[in-house]
Amino acid sequence: MVRVKVCGITRPEDALAAAEAGADAIGLVFYSPSPRAVDSDSARAIIECLPPFITSVGLFVDAAPEYVREVLSKVPLDLLQFHGDETDAYCQLFSRPYMKALRVRSGDDLNALAARWPGACGILLDSFKQGVPGGTGEVFDWSMIPVNRTWNLILAGGLDADNVAGAVALCQPWAVDVSGGVEKSKGIKDAAKITRFVHEVKA
Ligand SMILES: O=C(O)c1ccccc1NCC(=O)[C@H](O)[C@H](O)COP(=O)(O)O
C-alpha cells in the first residue's frame, strides 16, 4: 500500500481533513520564505488535534541546528525532512528519523546521490526550480528514477489527483507527497482535493 503525505499544512482543519481522507502523514514547513510556513505554536496546535497513527513531519531548509532543536523542544515531530544542502552528519544531529529531499536535475545519478545519506529512512525526490527549494507544483521526469534502488522513494513534485495514479504505476514509490495539488490557495488545503488524491493513490 503506497503511503501519502500531505505537506504544507497550516491549519488544524486541514490536518484533520488529511487524516480523515486516509493520509498517513502531514508535513509542517519551518522555512519562513514559504507561504506555507508555520511557527512552533501553530505547529503544536495542529499536531495536538491529530488522531492517532498520523506521522507528523517537520520540514527544514539549511536551518541552523539551534533552530531545529528549538522547534523540536516545542513541537512533537515524529520525522524530519531536510530540503537544502544538508549533509548526512548534519541530518543525524537531532536523534530523529529523517528524510532527505533531492531536487532532481537531468543527468543526475539518483542512486549515487541517495547513497550520500545512508542515515535517511527515505529519499524524497522533488522537482528542481532555481531559487525554489520546494513546493514548486511542477513535475519532473519520472523516467529518471532508477527501478533498481535500495532506498525508500517518496515521490513529490506537482502531483495531483489526475496524475498520481500514473506516477505510482510507473515509479512504484514507498510513498507520495503532495502540497500544491490539494490546495485552494497557497497553504490552504481543499478537503475534497485531498480526499480525491488519497483515493487515487489507495483505491
Ligand atoms: O511547500 C513548500 O512551500 C516548501 C518550501 C520550501 C521547501 C519545501 C517545501 N515543500 C516541501 C514538500 O515536501 C512539498 O510537498 C513538495 O515540495 C511538493 O510540493 P508540490 O509540488 O506543491 O506538491
Q: Which three cell numbers stand for residue 82?
A: 531536510
pLDDT, residue 123, reads 98
pLDDT, residue 99, reads 98
Contact 108, 144 (CB under 8 A): yes
CATH of the domain at 117: 3.20.20.70
Arithmetic mean of pLDDT over the chain: 98
Residue 35 — φ and ψ, nearest 5°? Answer: -65, -5
State the catalytic residue, choosing from 14, 24, 91, 126.
126
Is any ligand 1 atom within 6 A of the Cβ of residue 58?
no
Bridge-based pairing of strands 188-189 and 183-185 is antiparallel
Where residue 134 falls among pLDDT bands split at 50, 70, 90?
Answer: very high
Is any ligand 1 atom within 6 A of the Cβ of residue 10?
no
Secondary structure class of 34 (helix, strand, coil): coil
Digit-coded pLDDT (tens) for 34-53: 999 999 999 999 999 999 99
ipTM above 0.90, yes or no: yes
Ligand 1 atom closest to 101 (CA): 13
Domain count, the chain: 1
Q: Which domain holds residue 24?
A: 3-202
Is any ligand 1 atom within 6 A of the Cβ of residue 160?
no
Where residue 201 falls among pLDDT bands split at 50, 70, 90?
Answer: very high
pLDDT, residue 124, reads 98
Digit-coded pLDDT (tens) for 44-99: 999 999 999 999 999 999 999 999 999 999 999 999 999 999 999 999 999 999 99
Q: How far, in Å, are 36, 59, 91, 99, 173 from residue 152 at the CA level?
A: 26, 18, 17, 9, 7
Secondary structure class of 41 (helix, strand, coil): helix
Where residue 108 falls among pLDDT bands split at 50, 70, 90?
Answer: very high
pTM over 0.95: yes
Q: Which three cell numbers stand for residue 84?
A: 537544502
pLDDT, residue 162, reads 98
CA distance 26 to 150: 25
Digit-coded pLDDT (tens) for 110-130: 999 999 999 999 999 999 999
**Residue 132, strand partner residues:** 129
User: Which residues of the chain form beta strands (DSSP E)?
Assistant: 3-6, 25-29, 55-60, 79-82, 98-104, 122-127, 153-155, 175-178, 183-185, 188-189
pLDDT, residue 174, reads 98
Residue in this structure with the C-alpha cell 505547529, named with its chain if needed: 43
State the catalytic residue, choosing from 7, 14, 24, 91.
7
